[in-house]
Amino acid sequence: MGAGSDGTVTVLARGEGLAAWRQIADGLSADIEAGRLAAGSQLPTEAALAARFGVNRHTVRRALAALAERGLVRATQGRGTFVETPRLAYPIGRRTRFSEIVSKAGREAWGDLLGAAAVPADAATAEALAIAPGSAMLELQTIHRADDTPLSTARTCLPLPRFDGFDRAYAALGSLTRAYAEFGIADYTRLSTRIGARPAAADEAARLDLAPGRVLIVLTSVNVDAAGVPIQATRSLFAADRVELVVEG
Amino acid sequence: MGAGSDGTVTVLARGEGLAAWRQIADGLSADIEAGRLAAGSQLPTEAALAARFGVNRHTVRRALAALAERGLVRATQGRGTFVETPRLAYPIGRRTRFSEIVSKAGREAWGDLLGAAAVPADAATAEALAIAPGSAMLELQTIHRADDTPLSTARTCLPLPRFDGFDRAYAALGSLTRAYAEFGIADYTRLSTRIGARPAAADEAARLDLAPGRVLIVLTSVNVDAAGVPIQATRSLFAADRVELVVEG
DNA sequence: GCCTATTTGTTCGTATGTATC
DNA sequence: CGATACATACGAACAAATAGG
């Protein structure tokens, strides 16, 4: 659609059943996907875009709203509208390691422990972990970032006599894989995975630095050790704007 | 936890470190999972629950918020709070057949053809199908229901000289598997799968009989025939309120 | 169309117990 | 020990959406 910062007016097809805002959105979206508008860069102001396309600023706003809904751009009052970084491809399968995935994408990974507590197991988690309902388990709240951008937050439950002190190991090492190594578990695999999606609650949005109501991908999974014994039940919440799951064949 | 519509007060354990709202949430959640509160049925009003448990309405609201966050109930202002129907578990893996999945869940499956057209392949789809960009492909718009409730809508692209007339076969048979059989393809497998999520646009919401802005799971996949040749590239949009994807091990 | 009753959603204020510094 | 912060719980009132007449 061209850079068009030289005062030229990009002509739209008017009166042919294609709404102006949709043409503008499609054009900008193509610019983003083709890399003509770089990730992280600032879009021209709404006023500038309105001038370029010869439309009212309201029409530009409608187009930008459509892009924001698709997660392509993010607008901040007083600052401007910026191109979102492309979604990180997050492979899920029998062997998934957050730290490996992110570093392979050339970003730095870190998991922060938000909180940990010993709690009685609810029915669903108890069944997943193959323990008696009500028996003790360790519940961890974590958040996972790539280059300081939060990608996901998770609630992880581990059976308790076995993993007493796991929270301290995790807090120090910042990675499940490394914390498991401290407990003598060199390898573990994913037993089951379920995927859903829903809007973020206010507190979840705050944790992930998202606008409230933005979409979360909910990934519920159970991991087992080499002997097939369940060692963790996790519910991860991914910011759908920043992550795309890839199922390994 | 008992039906308790007879004016009796269900006693909670107070002052023992277990928050009242959590006890209420756990009790209702158990009632739902045990079927004592049927899917689709209306919960007692907040005021009634507050009376039953002998707590303030705020405490009940806190418990209901926890259930809503887990997707167990949905509250609508002015109507009431209702038990959500469980989401259909939709397995994805190398061999996924919509018709088989739904009938196994005891529901009747049907796919309707909304439209079909021969179009030149865009760059992304051409790469997925391993054909030259711009060469002809058949684009199908379909919608998939279980017991008349729309679960997903899909855009499926097939390479064209090979699958000329596929749209008529699909319209008559209502199933990809059966239509492929007409073209001599007895077996096919999934090559790649990517999963994202975003709010539904107005037209997508209308097709799926959803409120606009409700969440969609976007599943992009490529299927290959027994020889490993790509035979279809599909982008499916699932109503996240009605479906949960299950990754097969 | 209007009106009313019902029900959830939101926002004040107040008080109490429980950690933590 | 006090001071502080936080979660929990209660009370009252009003706003907003829905359903039925």
CATH number at residue A222: 3.40.1410.10
The owner of tokens 């007083």 is A78
| Contact check, Cβ <8 Å, B247/A69 | no
Question: Which nucleotide is the nearest neighbour of B80, by CA and C1'?
Answer: C7
With contacts defined as CB-CB under 8 Å, which chain B residues touch A215?
197-199, 215
Inside any domain, residue A5: no
- Nearest CA to A2 out of A24, A20, A17 is that of A24
Q: Which of B64, B83, B102 is the last residue of a domain?
A: B83
C8 C1': nearest CA residue: B77
**Cα A91 to Cα A95: distance, rounded to the nearest angstrom:** 9
- Kindly determine whether the C-beta of residue B81 is less than 7 Å away from any atom of nucleic acid strand C: yes
CA-based max dimension of chain A: 71
| Contact check, Cβ <8 Å, A197/B194 | no
3-state secondary structure chain A: CCCCCCCCCCCCCCCCCCCHHHHHHHHHHHHHHCCCCCCCCECCCHHHHHHHHCCCHHHHHHHHHHHHHCCCEEEECCCEEEECCCCEEEEECCCCCHHHHHHHCCCCEEEEEEEEEEEECCHHHHHHHCCCCCCEEEEEEEEEEECCEEEEEEEEEEECCCCCCHHHHHHHHCCHHHHHHHCCCCCEEEEEEEEEEEECCHHHHHHHCCCCCCEEEEEEEEEEECCCCEEEEEEEEEECCCEEEEECC
pLDDT at B3: 44
With contacts defined as CB-CB under 8 Å, which chain B residues touch A196?
71, 87, 217, 240, 244-245
Q: List chain C nucleotides near protein: any atom < 7 Å from a Cβ.
A: 5-11, 17-19
Edge-first strand order for the sheet with A215-225 is A109-120, A136-146, A149-159, A230-239, A215-225, A188-199, B243-247, B88-92
For chain B, 249 residues long, the average pLDDT of each consecutive 10-residue run is 56 71 91 88 92 92 86 87 87 69 67 86 86 89 81 91 90 84 87 88 77 83 90 92 83
pLDDT at B47: 92
Chain-centroid distance, C-alpha B140: 20
Inside any domain, residue A13: no
- Nearest CA to B28 out of B8, B10, B54 is that of B10
Inside any domain, residue A35: yes
Contact A111, A144 (CB under 8 A): yes
pLDDT at A115: 78
Domain identity same for B95 and B39 = no
3-state secondary structure A31-99: HHHCCCCCCCCECCCHHHHHHHHCCCHHHHHHHHHHHHHCCCEEEECCCEEEECCCCEEEEECCCCCHH
From A190, A217, A246, residue closest to B197, measured CB to CB: A217
pLDDT at B234: 93
Q: Separation of CA A116 and C1' C13 in angstroms?
A: 33
pLDDT at A63: 82
B84 touches chain A (CB under 8 A): no
Tokens describing residue A94:
């029998």
pLDDT at A2: 45
Q: Separation of CA B6 and C1' D1 in angstroms?
A: 50
Domain extent at residue B134: 88-247
Contact B207, B123 (CB under 8 A): no
Inside any domain, residue A15: no
Beta strand B149-159 with B136-146 is: antiparallel
Measured torsion, CA atoms of residues A234, A235, A240, A245, in degrees rounded to the nearest 10: 40
Inside any domain, residue A67: yes
- Between the CA of residue A167 and those of A112, A142, A160, A174, A176, what are the distances in Å? 11, 10, 11, 10, 10
pLDDT at B9: 67
For A5-55, the pLDDT digits (tens) are 455 666 666 656 666 787 888 788 878 777 777 777 788 888 888 887 888
- Kindly determine whether the C-beta of residue B55 is less than 7 Å away from any atom of nucleic acid strand D: yes
With contacts defined as CB-CB under 8 Å, which chain A residues touch B192?
246-247, 249
Task: Give pLDDT < 50 ranges for chain A.
Answer: 2-5
How many residues are present in chain A? 249
- Nearest CA to A207 out of A161, A144, A137 is that of A144
pLDDT at A5: 46
- Kindly determine whether the C-beta of residue B30 is less than 7 Å away from any atom of nucleic acid strand D: no
| Contact check, Cβ <8 Å, B197/A197 | yes
**Cα A213 to Cα A217: distance, rounded to the nearest angstrom:** 12
Question: Three-state SS for B192?
Answer: strand
Give the count of domains, chain B.
2
Domain identity same for B136 and B242 = yes
8-state DSSP, B211: -
With contacts defined as CB-CB under 8 Å, which chain B residues touch A94?
249
8-state DSSP, B42: B
pLDDT at A160: 82
CB proximity list for B58: less than 8 A, separation 6 or greater: none
Q: Which of A51, A83, A115 is the last residue of a domain?
A: A83
pLDDT at A14: 65
pTM of the model: 0.76
Inside any domain, residue B1: no
Tokens describing residue A171:
């807090």
Inside any domain, residue B11: no
Inside any domain, residue B14: no
Q: Nearest residue on chain B to A197, judged by CA atoms?
A: B240
Domain identity same for B64 and B167 = no
Mean pLDDT for chain B? 84
